[in-house]
């Protein structure tokens, strides 16, 4: 019993490399390069735009925080400048109101002339 042999049936036929293969491979690589270049030209600006958008969101949040900080500092400054607060601080430091014009100023307590 004879087994079928895969391959050419002509024993004088010598196997040769397909001459179209380098051309097919070159065309395939060229198409792949064009596709990658097109994706890069389309994708890169979108990627850059997205990163700029995220940076803008971060900066807006930072501006909002800084504005809130400025408002709180202005409020604290107005509290510190209030007349009651200034009068209390002056009293704590031992300051007295000035005497009216033409009157002599009272002598400070505990100071000998």
pLDDT tens-digit series, residues 29-62: 999 999 999 988 988 888 889 999 999 999 999 9
| CA dist., res. 35 & res. 43, Å (int) | 12
Domain span at residue 69 reads 21-92
Tell me, yes or no, whether 81 lies in a domain.
Answer: yes
Tell me, yes or no, whether 97 lies in a domain.
Answer: no
> What CA dihedral angle connects 44, 48, 51 and 56, to 10 degrees?
-160
Tell me, yes or no, whether 107 lies in a domain.
Answer: no
pLDDT (average), residues 83-95: 90
Token pair listed for 71: 């408002």
Q: What does each C-alpha distance from 94 to 28, 68, 82, 90 come to in angstroms? A: 93, 36, 19, 6
Tell me, yes or no, whether 8 lies in a domain.
Answer: no
Tell me, yes or no, whether 4 lies in a domain.
Answer: no
Tell me, yes or no, whether 111 lies in a domain.
Answer: no
Residues 6+ apart with CB under 8 A from 29: none
pLDDT (average), residues 73-98: 91
Q: How many domains does the chain have?
A: 1
Predicted TM-score (pTM) of the model is 0.48
């Amino acid at each position: 019993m004879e087994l079928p042999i895969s391959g050419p049936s002509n024993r004088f036929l010598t196997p040769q490399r397909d001459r179209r293969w380098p051309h097919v491979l070159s065309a395939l690589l060229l198409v792949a390069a064009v596709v990658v270049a097109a994706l890069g030209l389309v994708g890169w600006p979108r990627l850059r735009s997205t990163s700029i958008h995220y940076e803008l969101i971060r900066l807006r949040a930072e501006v909002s925080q800084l504005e809130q900080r400025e408002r709180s500092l202005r409020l604290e400054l107005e509290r510190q400048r209030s007349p009651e607060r200034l009068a209390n601080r002056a009293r704590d430091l031992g300051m007295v109101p000035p005497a009216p014009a033409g009157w002599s100023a009272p002598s400070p307590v505990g100071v000998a002339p």
